[in-house]
Structure 1
Protein backbone atom coordinates (compact mmCIF):
# COMPACT_ATOMS: atom_id res chain seq x y z
CA UNK A 1 0.00 0.00 0.00
CA UNK A 2 1.28 3.45 -0.93
CA UNK A 3 1.77 5.83 2.00
CA UNK A 4 0.44 9.22 0.94
CA UNK A 5 1.69 12.41 2.60
CA UNK A 6 0.22 15.92 2.40
CA UNK A 7 2.08 19.16 3.02
CA UNK A 8 0.56 22.58 2.56
CA UNK A 9 1.50 26.22 2.53
CA UNK A 10 1.64 29.47 0.62
CA UNK A 11 5.04 28.85 -1.03
CA UNK A 12 5.56 32.41 -2.21
CA UNK A 13 9.15 32.94 -3.34
CA UNK A 14 10.34 29.40 -2.63
CA UNK A 15 13.41 29.29 -0.38
CA UNK A 16 15.59 26.65 1.34
CA UNK A 17 13.16 26.41 4.29
CA UNK A 18 10.42 25.31 1.90
CA UNK A 19 12.72 22.76 0.27
CA UNK A 20 13.63 21.36 3.72
CA UNK A 21 9.95 21.11 4.72
CA UNK A 22 8.92 19.34 1.52
CA UNK A 23 11.92 17.00 1.53
CA UNK A 24 11.23 16.03 5.13
CA UNK A 25 7.53 15.46 4.34
CA UNK A 26 8.39 13.38 1.26
CA UNK A 27 10.61 11.10 3.35
CA UNK A 28 7.53 9.99 5.33
CA UNK A 29 5.87 8.23 2.42
CA UNK A 30 5.93 7.20 -1.21
CA UNK A 31 3.75 10.07 -2.50
CA UNK A 32 3.90 13.73 -1.53
CA UNK A 33 0.89 15.86 -2.40
CA UNK A 34 1.26 19.57 -1.72
CA UNK A 35 -1.70 21.89 -1.29
CA UNK A 36 -0.81 25.46 -2.25
CA UNK A 37 -2.97 28.06 -0.52
CA UNK A 38 -4.99 30.38 -2.68
CA UNK A 39 -4.17 34.06 -2.29
CA UNK A 40 -7.69 34.89 -1.08
CA UNK A 41 -7.33 32.40 1.78
CA UNK A 42 -4.03 33.78 3.11
CA UNK A 43 -5.24 35.99 5.95
CA UNK A 44 -2.66 35.31 8.67
CA UNK A 45 0.15 37.18 6.90
CA UNK A 46 0.77 39.37 3.88
CA UNK A 47 -0.82 37.85 0.76
CA UNK A 48 1.52 36.14 -1.69
CA UNK A 49 3.26 38.17 -4.37
CA UNK A 50 3.05 35.46 -7.02
CA UNK A 51 -0.23 34.22 -8.58
CA UNK A 52 -1.80 30.99 -7.31
CA UNK A 53 -1.12 28.90 -10.40
CA UNK A 54 2.49 30.06 -10.67
CA UNK A 55 3.18 29.06 -7.06
CA UNK A 56 1.51 25.69 -7.67
CA UNK A 57 3.51 25.14 -10.86
CA UNK A 58 6.82 25.87 -9.11
CA UNK A 59 6.03 23.42 -6.29
CA UNK A 60 4.83 20.82 -8.80
CA UNK A 61 8.21 21.05 -10.59
CA UNK A 62 10.16 19.97 -7.49
CA UNK A 63 11.43 16.42 -7.70
CA UNK A 64 10.18 15.40 -4.24
CA UNK A 65 6.59 16.41 -5.06
CA UNK A 66 4.25 13.84 -6.60
CA UNK A 67 1.56 16.41 -7.33
CA UNK A 68 0.80 19.99 -6.30
CA UNK A 69 -2.81 21.11 -5.92
CA UNK A 70 -4.42 24.50 -5.40
CA UNK A 71 -6.37 24.79 -2.18
CA UNK A 72 -10.15 25.02 -2.19
CA UNK A 73 -11.52 28.56 -2.09
CA UNK A 74 -14.00 27.90 0.73
CA UNK A 75 -13.06 24.70 2.57
CA UNK A 76 -9.43 23.76 3.21
CA UNK A 77 -10.40 20.14 3.86
CA UNK A 78 -11.85 19.46 0.39
CA UNK A 79 -8.48 18.63 -1.24
CA UNK A 80 -7.49 16.60 1.82
CA UNK A 81 -10.64 14.50 1.46
CA UNK A 82 -9.84 13.95 -2.22
CA UNK A 83 -6.17 13.06 -1.63
CA UNK A 84 -6.97 10.82 1.39
CA UNK A 85 -3.55 11.08 3.07
CA UNK A 86 -1.99 8.83 5.68
CA UNK A 87 -0.01 11.76 7.10
CA UNK A 88 -0.35 15.53 7.09
CA UNK A 89 2.91 17.34 7.76
CA UNK A 90 2.64 20.92 8.96
CA UNK A 91 5.51 23.34 8.58
CA UNK A 92 7.43 23.94 11.80
CA UNK A 93 6.25 27.56 12.01
CA UNK A 94 2.82 27.37 10.41
CA UNK A 95 0.03 29.06 12.34
CA UNK A 96 -2.21 25.97 12.46
CA UNK A 97 -3.40 24.46 15.73
CA UNK A 98 -2.45 20.78 15.50
CA UNK A 99 -5.23 19.60 17.82
CA UNK A 100 -7.89 21.65 16.01
CA UNK A 101 -6.82 20.07 12.73
CA UNK A 102 -6.97 16.58 14.26
CA UNK A 103 -10.48 17.30 15.56
CA UNK A 104 -11.66 18.65 12.20
CA UNK A 105 -10.23 15.62 10.39
CA UNK A 106 -11.90 13.23 12.85
CA UNK A 107 -15.23 15.05 12.45
CA UNK A 108 -14.99 14.44 8.70
CA UNK A 109 -14.02 10.80 9.13
CA UNK A 110 -10.47 11.35 7.85
CA UNK A 111 -8.10 9.03 9.68
CA UNK A 112 -4.55 10.30 9.32
CA UNK A 113 -1.58 11.29 11.40
CA UNK A 114 -0.77 14.99 11.89
CA UNK A 115 2.85 15.91 12.57
CA UNK A 116 5.20 18.89 12.26
CA UNK A 117 8.35 19.26 10.22
CA UNK A 118 11.52 20.34 11.95
CA UNK A 119 12.97 23.78 11.31
CA UNK A 120 15.88 24.12 8.90
CA UNK A 121 18.82 25.70 10.60
CA UNK A 122 20.58 28.53 8.83
CA UNK A 123 23.73 27.31 7.14
CA UNK A 124 25.32 30.75 6.93
CA UNK A 125 24.57 34.12 8.49
CA UNK A 126 23.01 35.93 5.51
CA UNK A 127 20.80 32.98 4.43
CA UNK A 128 17.12 33.97 4.26
CA UNK A 129 14.54 31.33 5.27
CA UNK A 130 11.44 33.52 5.18
CA UNK A 131 9.54 34.96 2.23
CA UNK A 132 8.86 38.11 4.23
CA UNK A 133 12.57 38.59 4.89
CA UNK A 134 13.32 38.00 1.21
CA UNK A 135 10.78 40.67 0.23
CA UNK A 136 12.25 43.05 2.82
CA UNK A 137 15.77 42.44 1.48
CA UNK A 138 14.59 43.14 -2.09
CA UNK A 139 12.92 46.39 -1.01
CA UNK A 140 15.95 47.38 1.02
CA UNK A 141 18.37 46.69 -1.81
CA UNK A 142 16.25 48.74 -4.21
CA UNK A 143 15.96 51.70 -1.85
CA UNK A 144 12.32 51.11 -0.91
CA UNK A 145 10.82 50.83 2.54
CA UNK A 146 8.93 47.83 3.87
CA UNK A 147 5.45 48.23 5.38
CA UNK A 148 6.57 46.40 8.53
Structure 2
Protein backbone atom coordinates (compact mmCIF):
# COMPACT_ATOMS: atom_id res chain seq x y z
CA UNK A 1 0.00 0.00 0.00
CA UNK A 2 2.84 2.42 0.74
CA UNK A 3 4.27 1.88 -2.75
CA UNK A 4 0.88 2.54 -4.34
CA UNK A 5 0.47 5.68 -2.21
CA UNK A 6 3.87 7.01 -3.31
CA UNK A 7 2.95 6.40 -6.95
CA UNK A 8 -0.43 8.12 -6.59
CA UNK A 9 1.17 11.11 -4.83
CA UNK A 10 3.59 11.54 -7.74
CA UNK A 11 0.80 12.09 -10.29
CA UNK A 12 0.35 15.71 -11.39
CA UNK A 13 -3.43 15.56 -11.07
CA UNK A 14 -3.29 14.49 -7.39
CA UNK A 15 -3.38 17.26 -4.79
CA UNK A 16 -3.39 15.08 -1.68
CA UNK A 17 -3.36 11.32 -1.07
CA UNK A 18 -3.30 9.34 2.18
CA UNK A 19 -3.96 5.79 3.26
CA UNK A 20 -7.28 5.18 4.94
CA UNK A 21 -7.63 4.40 8.63
CA UNK A 22 -8.17 0.68 9.27
CA UNK A 23 -10.32 1.33 12.36
CA UNK A 24 -12.25 4.51 11.51
CA UNK A 25 -12.65 5.55 7.89
CA UNK A 26 -13.95 8.94 9.04
CA UNK A 27 -10.81 9.84 11.05
CA UNK A 28 -8.78 11.11 8.06
CA UNK A 29 -11.84 12.93 6.73
CA UNK A 30 -12.21 14.78 10.03
CA UNK A 31 -8.48 15.61 10.03
CA UNK A 32 -8.45 16.90 6.44
CA UNK A 33 -11.90 18.56 6.61
CA UNK A 34 -12.42 18.53 2.82
CA UNK A 35 -15.05 20.54 0.98
CA UNK A 36 -15.59 17.69 -1.50
CA UNK A 37 -15.14 13.92 -1.26
CA UNK A 38 -14.76 12.36 -4.68
CA UNK A 39 -15.70 8.72 -5.18
CA UNK A 40 -14.19 6.91 -8.12
CA UNK A 41 -16.33 4.95 -10.54
CA UNK A 42 -15.07 1.71 -9.00
CA UNK A 43 -15.51 2.62 -5.33
CA UNK A 44 -18.52 0.75 -4.07
CA UNK A 45 -19.96 3.18 -1.57
CA UNK A 46 -23.63 4.07 -1.47
CA UNK A 47 -23.44 7.84 -1.94
CA UNK A 48 -26.61 8.60 0.03
CA UNK A 49 -25.57 6.36 2.91
CA UNK A 50 -22.15 8.04 2.98
CA UNK A 51 -23.77 11.50 2.99
CA UNK A 52 -25.92 10.42 5.94
CA UNK A 53 -22.93 9.00 7.84
CA UNK A 54 -20.95 12.18 7.23
CA UNK A 55 -23.84 14.37 8.43
CA UNK A 56 -24.24 12.23 11.57
CA UNK A 57 -20.59 13.00 12.37
CA UNK A 58 -20.89 16.71 11.64
CA UNK A 59 -18.79 16.46 8.47
CA UNK A 60 -20.11 18.88 5.85
CA UNK A 61 -18.32 17.64 2.73
CA UNK A 62 -20.08 17.34 -0.59
CA UNK A 63 -19.95 13.79 -2.03
CA UNK A 64 -19.55 13.42 -5.79
CA UNK A 65 -18.94 10.41 -8.00
CA UNK A 66 -16.73 10.61 -11.06
CA UNK A 67 -16.93 8.43 -14.13
CA UNK A 68 -14.20 6.22 -15.50
CA UNK A 69 -11.26 8.12 -16.99
CA UNK A 70 -10.84 7.34 -20.67
CA UNK A 71 -8.16 9.86 -21.66
CA UNK A 72 -5.32 7.38 -21.21
CA UNK A 73 -4.59 3.71 -21.62
CA UNK A 74 -3.78 3.65 -17.89
CA UNK A 75 -6.95 3.87 -15.84
CA UNK A 76 -5.86 2.31 -12.56
CA UNK A 77 -2.90 2.46 -10.23
CA UNK A 78 -2.26 -1.22 -10.94
CA UNK A 79 -1.90 -0.51 -14.67
CA UNK A 80 0.46 2.39 -13.99
CA UNK A 81 2.65 0.27 -11.69
CA UNK A 82 2.72 -2.61 -14.19
CA UNK A 83 3.80 -0.25 -16.98
CA UNK A 84 6.51 1.31 -14.79
CA UNK A 85 7.86 -2.16 -13.96
CA UNK A 86 7.75 -3.16 -17.64
CA UNK A 87 9.65 -0.01 -18.66
CA UNK A 88 12.23 -0.47 -15.92
CA UNK A 89 12.87 -4.03 -17.08
CA UNK A 90 13.21 -2.83 -20.67
CA UNK A 91 15.72 -0.13 -19.62
CA UNK A 92 17.79 -2.61 -17.61
CA UNK A 93 18.07 -4.95 -20.62
CA UNK A 94 18.99 -2.21 -23.10
TM over 0.5: yes
CA distance in 1, matches of 2:71, 2:18: 29
Q: Comparing both structures, which one devotes a greater share of its residues to strand?
A: 1
Q: In the TM superposition, what whole-angstrom CA distance separates every residue of 1:99-140 from its partner, at most 9, and x where no partner exists?
A: 1100110011000110110223487xxx5746789xxxxxxx
Who is 1:43 aligned against? none
Q: Comparing both structures, which one devotes a greater share of its residues to helix?
A: 2
CA distance in 2, matches of 1:131, 1:66: 16
CA distance in 2, matches of 1:54, 1:79: 19
Who is 1:113 aligned against? 62
Contact 2:21 2:27 in 1 (8 A): yes
Provide runs of 4+ in structure 1 moved above 3 Å.
Answer: 127-133
Distance change (3 Å), C-alpha of 1:62 and 1:130: closer
Who is 1:63 aligned against? 12
Which consecutive unaligned segments of at least 5 residues does structure 2 have? 80-94
Superposed CA RMSD: 2.4
TM-score (norm 1): 0.47
| Residue 77 (structure 1) shift | 0.8
| Residue 83 (structure 1) shift | 0.5
Which consecutive unaligned segments of at least 5 residues does structure 1 have? 1-51, 134-148
Rg larger for: 2
